[in-house]
Chains A and B, each alone.
Chain A
């Protein structure tokens, strides 16, 4: 069998990233500056590959790659369909933006740890790519461990209090990974296979089996810890607030989303829609998610530390995604049916939260400003950064035509179709709460003056003190994408990608009546 070049890309995306991680380690001895360049160029190449993969999947079809030429279920198989390719492109785009941003900020924050930082960062990207491209459930577990271990190390890189945050994440994350592994073990004991497609073929006659049900419970709880679903989110606020900002952006923007991807994959590729419909598990998930949305937002209001506030906001945003996943089996409309709102919000959340965390990092880079009350008069000092923050914040609130507005609109339409009117109320309440905690920051930045300025009105306005261009460009890119993608979603141009996912899993308008 002859493979086309693009069909080699799923494995190359993972392998060149792994090779690059260890090359950075060696190159770091010779020249510290080369680390950033190597990491940046690798991720750029990976991103180009992932775009080719997406194009191939959409035009030709799912890629099946048998590692070592061993046919599944004996060998490991990489399967890339519309869902993987879509998540892969989001993941690598955000990784590229964060690595661009990290050049100056890591040189400033962790000058002695540049080499280990980029090595581990590249391993993190390797792990995330691996989880996304694989079609073998045990291989997925291995990659989950790789990216989790890298994330623990990166969160701890600041030392001191960050060590505690990282240790909490390590303990909870390991429990999550253990549960995931137990689930895999249970499925292996009843079916004797680890290939996802093979499992989905062998499992249907066993749906009533207690072992299979227990395995699903383990998968749900384990991955809920990884994706910080309320009430298993306790590791998240510390980890997000003490990590370096680009890592916070990656954590919130893509790492917890990749765990959500893993959950969606397990639910619909290993188990199927028929299994989900046997149990009321998705209704339960909807309620948990709705609780998470409200409580996450309320806790965010109580925070003074900007990064901590954003972290709690992430808890509520994960609630949005899981609410959309929970509603996916009961909606049939061509536009907002099935997984469309959930997948849409995965992209939207990566854009918004990535931008917000990078801006929070910019304030820390410039003046060690952590608390919201210190932001007085920043709107005049750092006009572009604050403008980016405002754009992302109004996206979070949901002002049209931003990405946040489209997500909320789709989730509300989906809950209306499912007949769950209570979730419409939850979404509206959450919008109000978002307004409260983001408006507070915007007010501080633009409407309050600094103490010094109050005393003498004749004093000239504060000098501009903007962050370096290599940090400003990523921030502004993400902020403008928040609006551009909002308009794109409204024009329904990218919807066919998500429609293919629904067709794959038999959801939305492809659902069996």
Chain B
């Protein structure tokens, strides 16, 4: 963000370092892409939903550090966040329950082989695992961001209170 004269006082206080902002703007898409790679790689190698989710969450942390909590918070409202960490759990538990439902109660929970997908038994296993990893990834990402946002908001509020005094 350019340090123009029209910027508000709060913006100036936030320092608005050009290097930090530009670099993080460049980095964030790559971090997120890497996170997606780690999530999808989870079924066949090192990585997985948790690790990928943490990396994805870290990209939001970087945004907050570079642009301040107000700007980053507007991009990622709390309501969406809450919905996201429920969604992740729904995907996880839903895929597990689908295995039972698709097999009409013959297969166990999370027995991906019985998902009614138009592919081979082994491929269904791999795909099922990917679905699970995506669910885990979404929840972990949302929770990491939520924890950091909560801590950061708290700090901001304290500073405001301190300023008033």
Q: How many residues of B contact A (CB 8 A)?
A: 20
Contact between A18 and B93, CB atoms less than 8 A apart? yes
- Closest chain-B Cβ to A296's Cβ sits at a distance in Å of 38
Contact between A22 and B85, CB atoms less than 8 A apart? yes
Residues in A whose Cβ lies below 8 Å from that of B106: 2-3
Q: Which of A62-70, A281-289, A380-388, A438-446 contacts B (4 or more CB under 8 A)?
A: A62-70
Is B113 an interface residue, CB under 8 A from the partner? yes
Contact between A15 and B93, CB atoms less than 8 A apart? yes
Q: How many residues of A contact B (CB 8 A)?
A: 19
Residues in A whose Cβ lies below 8 Å from that of B113: 69
User: Residues 6-28 of chain A: 1 if any B CB is under 8 Å from the residue's CB, otherwise 0?
Assistant: 00100110010011001101100
Residues in A whose Cβ lies below 8 Å from that of B110: 67-68
Q: Within residues 87 to 119 of chain B, which ones have a CB less than 8 A from any CB in chain A?
A: 89-90, 93, 96-97, 100, 105-113
Contact between A3 and B108, CB atoms less than 8 A apart? yes
Contact between A22 and B108, CB atoms less than 8 A apart? no
Is B22 an interface residue, CB under 8 A from the partner? no
Contact between A25 and B82, CB atoms less than 8 A apart? yes
Q: Report the separation of the CA atoms of residues A69 and B93 in the bound assembly, to the nearest whole angstrom.
A: 16
Q: Given A15-B97, A22-B90, decide whether A67 and B83 contact each other with a Cβ distance below 8 A.
A: no
Q: Which of A2, A5, A15 has most B Cβ within 10 Å?
A: A15
> Total A-B pairs in contact (CB under 8 Å)?
49
Q: Report the separation of the CA atoms of residues A25 and B89 in the bound assembly, to the nearest whole angstrom.
A: 12
Chain B facing A: main interface SS: helix
Residues in B whose Cβ lies below 8 Å from that of A37: none
Q: Report the separation of the CA atoms of residues A22 and B83 in the bound assembly, to the nearest whole angstrom.
A: 9
Is B71 an interface residue, CB under 8 A from the partner? no
Residues in A whose Cβ lies below 8 Å from that of B108: 3, 8, 11, 65-69
Residues in A whose Cβ lies below 8 Å from that of B111: 68-69
Residues in B whose Cβ lies below 8 Å from that of A5: 105
- Closest chain-B Cβ to A368's Cβ sits at a distance in Å of 31
Chain A facing B: main interface SS: helix
Q: Within residues 55 to 97 of chain B, which ones have a CB less than 8 A from any CB in chain A?
A: 79, 82-83, 85-86, 89-90, 93, 96-97
Q: Report the separation of the CA atoms of residues A65 and B99 in the bound assembly, to the nearest whole angstrom.
A: 14
Q: Which of A2, A11, A29, A68 has most B Cβ within 10 Å?
A: A68
Q: Report the separation of the CA atoms of residues A66 and B113 in the bound assembly, to the nearest whole angstrom.
A: 14
* Residue among B86, B107, B109 making CB contact with A15, cutoff 8 Å: B109
- Closest chain-B Cβ to A337's Cβ sits at a distance in Å of 37
Give the nearest-CB partner of B85 in chain A.
A22
Give the nearest-CB partner of B110 in chain A.
A68
Give the nearest-CB partner of B108 in chain A.
A69
Contact between A69 and B107, CB atoms less than 8 A apart? yes
Residues in A whose Cβ lies below 8 Å from that of B107: 3, 69
Residues in B whose Cβ lies below 8 Å from that of A29: 79, 82
Q: Within residues 26 to 79 of chain B, which ones have a CB less than 8 A from any CB in chain A?
A: 79
Q: Report the separation of the CA atoms of residues A22 and B93 in the bound assembly, to the nearest whole angstrom.
A: 11
Residues in A whose Cβ lies below 8 Å from that of B90: 19, 22
Residues in A whose Cβ lies below 8 Å from that of B96: 15
Contact between B93 and A68, CB atoms less than 8 A apart? no
Contact between B89 and A22, CB atoms less than 8 A apart? yes
Q: Report the separation of the CA atoms of residues A67 and B100 in the bound assembly, to the nearest whole angstrom.
A: 11
Q: Report the separation of the CA atoms of residues A29 and B113 in the bound assembly, to the nearest whole angstrom.
A: 37
- Closest chain-B Cβ to A202's Cβ sits at a distance in Å of 25
Q: Within residues 247 to 278 of chain A, which ones have a CB less than 8 A from any CB in chain B?
A: none
* Residue among B83, B93, B97, B112 making CB contact with A26, cutoff 8 Å: B83
Q: Report the separation of the CA atoms of residues A140 and B106 in the bound assembly, to the nearest whole angstrom.
A: 26
Residues in B whose Cβ lies below 8 Å from that of A67: 108-110
- Closest chain-B Cβ to A45's Cβ sits at a distance in Å of 14
Q: Within residues 379 to 432 of chain A, which ones have a CB less than 8 A from any CB in chain B?
A: none
Q: Report the separation of the CA atoms of residues A69 and B107 in the bound assembly, to the nearest whole angstrom.
A: 7
User: Residues 323-357 of chain A: 1 if any B CB is under 8 Å from the residue's CB, otherwise 0?
Assistant: 00000000000000000000000000000000000
Give the nearest-CB partner of A26 in chain B.
B86
Q: Given A15-B96, A18-B93, A68-B112, decide whether A3 and B105 contact each other with a Cβ distance below 8 A.
A: yes
Residues in A whose Cβ lies below 8 Å from that of B83: 26
Residues in B whose Cβ lies below 8 Å from that of A18: 89, 93
Q: Report the separation of the CA atoms of residues A29 and B93 in the bound assembly, to the nearest whole angstrom.
A: 22
Contact between A68 and B109, CB atoms less than 8 A apart? yes
Residues in A whose Cβ lies below 8 Å from that of B112: 68
Residues in B whose Cβ lies below 8 Å from that of A22: 85-86, 89-90
Q: Report the separation of the CA atoms of residues A388 and B111 in the bound assembly, to the nearest whole angstrom.
A: 49
Interface residues, chain B, with chain A CB atoms under 8 Å away: 79, 82-83, 85-86, 89-90, 93, 96-97, 100, 105-113
- Excluding A11-B109, A68-B110, 17 further A-B contacts by CB distance (< 8 Å) are A8-B100, A8-B105, A12-B109, A15-B93, A15-B97, A18-B93, A19-B90, A22-B90, A23-B86, A25-B82, A67-B108, A67-B109, A67-B110, A68-B111, A69-B107, A69-B108, A69-B113
Can you sample 5 A-B contacts with CB below 8 Å? A3-B106, A22-B89, A29-B79, A29-B82, A68-B112
Per CB-CB distance, the 10 closest pairs between chain A and chain B, nearest first, are A69-B111, A68-B110, A22-B86, A11-B109, A22-B89, A69-B108, A19-B93, A68-B111, A15-B93, A26-B86
